[in-house]
């Protein structure tokens, strides 16, 4: 896949072609007409990372075309990135270039922005960070008015905090989300809000209790919780579970129990497998689960999780990989039909498409 070119004139046609492919790929599985949710055509990415290329006494941002992996493509701008990232990129490069301490063996720069206006950059080095780095970095952070983190092998220097606070309105609620550096967060903030609204619309009326797997920092959990009596939410990553707990409190959501468990562990617990210390005090039998919400990584659902899914009347499935989504829906064909579908264009100008399905027990 070559590096994308960002031409808003081509955007609508590209999205239409992706949606057609989605329809065609799922036609045999009884896909209803999907709702199509577009992205902003530019400045839609809240995360962007670049290698730093050192040459002729200067440094430049670089990306790699997978078709020519040995050859850096030097870039001055990255129009997919959120406007605050675009604005700070040249200023950060010039300031780093002017400081030997900040520049030496700088390998990569990772930006994270929020729609609420916060911005963080992580400077990743191929050398241990010494006592001179921190004062230079503090000056840089103050000049650019951003949060800054320095990383090197086995070393992480956080100047103040390693997270941002995202805030936005959703269906009349003001939501707050801690987003931790290095942990998963949805890259396209505008499209994420459309995914949350779609998921909420699908969940209305499914009632009873919700089981959520792969909940990350509670992105969907916080949005969906008021529509259910009780929610059991699970996630593998320790830092994401920490953020999710923070977010439950920050949003005054009190009907969610959060457990750090992998999808196969929670599937095993439901199947009456071994006893899990992390499940102590949680009586699975006392829940009245009507809905399962899953948003797995690209690999989709494993066998044990598919068996667990088959027990639910409603499965809300958000997927960043239509190929594994299709395999999983095929495996559930005997018990579930597709009640509603959506395509979310998280990744404009690439072939990737995020999909949402509401699977309903036959």
Ligand X SMILES: C[S@@+](CC[C@H](N)C(=O)[O-])C[C@H]1O[C@@H](n2cnc3c(N)ncnc32)[C@H](O)[C@@H]1O
Catalogue the active-site residues. Answer: 320, 354
181 is in an annotated binding site: no
Taking CA 343 as the corner, what is the angle to CA 320 and CA 245, rounded to the nearest 5 degrees? 55
Residue 65 DSSP code = -
Contacts with ligand X, residue ranges (CB under 6 A): 184-186, 213-217, 219-220, 235-237, 240, 262-263, 295-297, 320
Min CB(235)–ligand X separation in Å = 5
167 is in an annotated binding site: no
CA distance 339 to 362: 10
Min CB(295)–ligand X separation in Å = 4
Q: In the complex with ligand X, which residue's Cβ is closer, 81 or 236?
A: 236
264 is in an annotated binding site: no
CA distance 109 to 61: 8
Q: 116 Cβ partners below 8 Å, 6+ apart?
A: 164, 165, 166, 167, 168
125 is in an annotated binding site: no
Decide if 120 contacts 111 (C-beta within 8 A): yes
Q: In the complex with ligand X, which residue's Cβ is closer, 152 or 234?
A: 234
Q: In the complex with ligand X, which residue's Cβ is closer, 318 or 359?
A: 318
CA distance 291 to 336: 13
283 is in an annotated binding site: no
Kindly write down the DSSP assignment for every residue of 67-91, as one continuous string.
Answer: TSTTSEEEES--TTB-HHHHHHHHH
Residue 125: its H or E element: strand 119-125
Min CB(23)–ligand X separation in Å = 23
Instruction: Count how many Cα atoms sit within 13 Å of the Cα of residue 37 in the half-sphere of its side chain.
Output: 23
Q: 68 Cβ partners below 8 Å, 6+ apart?
A: none
By DSSP bridging, strand 336-344 and strand 354-361 are: antiparallel
Min CB(168)–ligand X separation in Å = 14
Kindly write down the DSSP assignment for every residue of 16-35, as one continuous string.
Answer: HHHHHHHHHHHGGGTPPPPE
Q: In the complex with ligand X, which residue's Cβ is closer, 139 or 162?
A: 162
Min CB(319)–ligand X separation in Å = 9
Q: In the complex with ligand X, which residue's Cβ is closer, 213 or 292?
A: 213
- Find the residue with minimal CB distance to ligand X: 216
Annotated binding site for S-adenosyl-L-methionine: 186, 214, 219, 235, 295
């Amino acid at each position: 896949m070559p590096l994308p070119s960002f031409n808003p004139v081509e955007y609508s046609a590209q999205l239409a072609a992706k949606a057609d492919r989605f329809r065609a790929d799922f036609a045999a599985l009884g896909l209803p007409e999907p709702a199509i949710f577009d992205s902003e055509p530019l400045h839609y990415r809240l995360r962007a990372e670049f290698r730093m290329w050192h040459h002729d006494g200067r440094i430049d941002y670089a990306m790699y075309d997978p078709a020519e992996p040995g050859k850096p493509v030097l870039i001055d701008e990255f129009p997919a990135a959120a406007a605050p990232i675009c604005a700070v990129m040249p200023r950060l490069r010039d300031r780093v270039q002017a400081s030997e301490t900040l520049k030496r063996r700088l390998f990569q720069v990772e930006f994270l922005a929020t729609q609420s206006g916060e911005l963080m950059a992580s400077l990743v080095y191929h050398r241990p960070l010494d006592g001179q780095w921190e004062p230079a970095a503090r000056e840089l952070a103050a000049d650019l008015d951003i949060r800054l983190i320095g990383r090197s092998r086995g070393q992480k220097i956080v100047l103040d905090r390693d997270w941002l606070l995202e805030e936005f309105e959703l269906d009349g609620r003001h939501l707050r989300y801690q987003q931790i550096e290095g942990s998963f967060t949805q890259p396209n903030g505008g499209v994420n809000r459309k995914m949350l609204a779609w998921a909420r619309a699908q969940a209305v009326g499914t009632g009873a209790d919700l089981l959520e797997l792969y909940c990350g920092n509670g992105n969907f959990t916080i949005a969906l919780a008021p529509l259910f009596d009780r929610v059991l939410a699970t996630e593998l990553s320790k830092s994401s579970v920490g953020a999710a707990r923070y977010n439950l409190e920050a949003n005054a959501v009190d009907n969610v129990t959060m457990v750090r468990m992998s999808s196969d562990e929670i599937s095993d617990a439901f199947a009456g497998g071994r006893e899990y210390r992390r499940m102590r005090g949680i009586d699975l039998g006392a829940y009245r689960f009507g809905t399962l919400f899953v948003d797995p990584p690209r690999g989709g659902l494993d066998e044990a999780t598919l068996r667990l899914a088959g027990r639910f009347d409603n499965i809300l499935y958000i997927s960043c990989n239509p190929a594994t989504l299709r395999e999983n829906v095929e495996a559930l064909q005997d018990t579930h039909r597709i009640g509603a579908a959506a395509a979310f264009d998280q990744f404009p100008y690439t072939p990737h498409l995020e999909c949402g399905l509401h699977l309903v027990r036959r």
